């Protein structure tokens, strides 16, 4: 007896390689390892949240294709031409395995949980096509659409509004792991606080998150205190974190950059651009 064709397929574009996640201020090998871990955790959460649905990972990176195959999923060659072309290739492959609808999630959601996937697809099921905006209400965290051609998407800056203009229904869902896509130090810190998947937690162990913007919230005579990140989270500033950067007289409300430890809850360094070793203004 022939197995029934799946209603849904999952499409996950993954850039991969040494140039992935260039906005993270980390050495290239560490950055590449983190980007790979983001993708693995994203795929694992999607597969667990949509059991039985084909998972198609679009990438030009042979290393990505290797682990995708070993995990029992379907690698799809990236045709080049940008993210929209990659999504179109993935949706075409989904159509090829008999799926009538595709759920597109970029491979940079390391805090995504299977329960969030089920909740998002449950909400999306009532609509022909929908878009879930990211945490900044600008980009696209999840896009659903029929697999029938033509496939029209508009990934990039402002993509949530652009997808609405293409006819996708906007869904505002309280699913933080889905809506936080990691592109920079601030969004990585947010993902850390939500809770990382196993691959990313291992890749991030012992690492630091660079260049998060904050304001001094409390400061003591010994230089210890706390700072408020731009998302309102208070982090500890231990004694010496500012002194090591050449700062002696921080004041409440002062804008600074901080380097966070792997927990995302404590600063290992605090600095102002142009002040201290290695912070020459050019």
What CATH number is associated with residue 249? 2.40.50.140
249 lies in which domain range? 208-271
Task: Check whether residue 150 and residue 121 sit in a common domain.
Answer: yes
What number is the average pLDDT over the span 152-163?
96
Full strand arrangement of the beta sheet holding 130-133:
74-77, 55-59, 8-13, 101-104, 140-146, 130-133, 169-170
Does residue 222 carry a pLDDT above 70?
yes
Judge whether 281 lies within some domain.
no
What number is the average pLDDT over the span 16-32?
58
Question: What is the tens place of the pLDDT at every residue in 173-188?
Answer: 999 999 999 988 778 8
Cα dihedral across residues 182, 184, 190, 193: positive or negative: positive
**pTM confidence score:** 0.75
Residue 175 sits in a domain whose CATH number is 3.90.550.10
Strand (E) positions, the chain?
A: 8-13, 55-59, 74-77, 101-104, 130-133, 140-146, 169-170, 209-219, 225-229, 234-237, 255-260, 267-271
Does residue 234 carry a pLDDT above 60?
yes
Residue 156 CA to residue 133 CA, distance in Å, equals 12
Task: Check whether residue 105 and residue 214 sit in a common domain.
Answer: no
Report residue 281's pLDDT band, with 50, 70 and 90 as the boundaries.
very low
Task: Check whether residue 157 and residue 18 sit in a common domain.
Answer: yes
Beta bridge partner(s), residue 244: none
């Amino acid at each position: 007896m022939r197995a029934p064709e799946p209603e849904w397929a999952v499409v996950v574009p993954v850039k991969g390689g040494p140039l992935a996640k260039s906005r993270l201020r980390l050495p290239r090998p560490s950055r590449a390892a983190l980007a790979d871990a983001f993708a693995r955790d994203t795929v694992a959460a999607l597969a667990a949240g949509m059991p039985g649905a084909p998972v198609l990972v679009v990438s030009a990176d042979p290393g990505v294709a290797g682990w995708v195959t070993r995990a029992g999923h379907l690698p799809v060659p990236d045709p080049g031409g940008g993210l929209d072309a990659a999504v179109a290739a993935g949706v075409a492959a989904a159509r090829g395995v008999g799926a009538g609808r595709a759920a597109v999630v970029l491979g940079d959601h390391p805090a995504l949980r299977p329960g969030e996937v089920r909740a998002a697809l449950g909400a999306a099921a009532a609509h022909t096509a929908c878009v879930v905006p990211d945490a900044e209400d600008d980009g696209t965290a999840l896009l659903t659409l029929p697999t029938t051609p033509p496939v029209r998407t508009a990934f990039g800056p402002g993509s949530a509004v652009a997808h609405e203009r293409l006819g996708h229904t906007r869904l505002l869902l309280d699913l933080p792991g889905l809506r936080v896509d990691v592109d920079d130090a601030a969004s990585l810190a947010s993902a850390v606080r939500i809770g990382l998947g196993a691959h990313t937690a291992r890749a991030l162990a012992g690492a630091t998150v660079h260049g998060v913007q904050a304001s001094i919230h409390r400061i003591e005579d010994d230089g210890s205190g706390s700072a408020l990140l731009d998302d309102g989270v208070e982090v500890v500033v231990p004694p010496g974190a500012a002194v090591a950067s050449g700062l002696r007289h921080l004041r409440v409300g002062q804008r600074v950059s901080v380097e966070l430890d792997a927990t995302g809850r404590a600063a290992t360094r605090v600095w102002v651009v142009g002040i201290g070793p290695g912070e020459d203004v050019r």
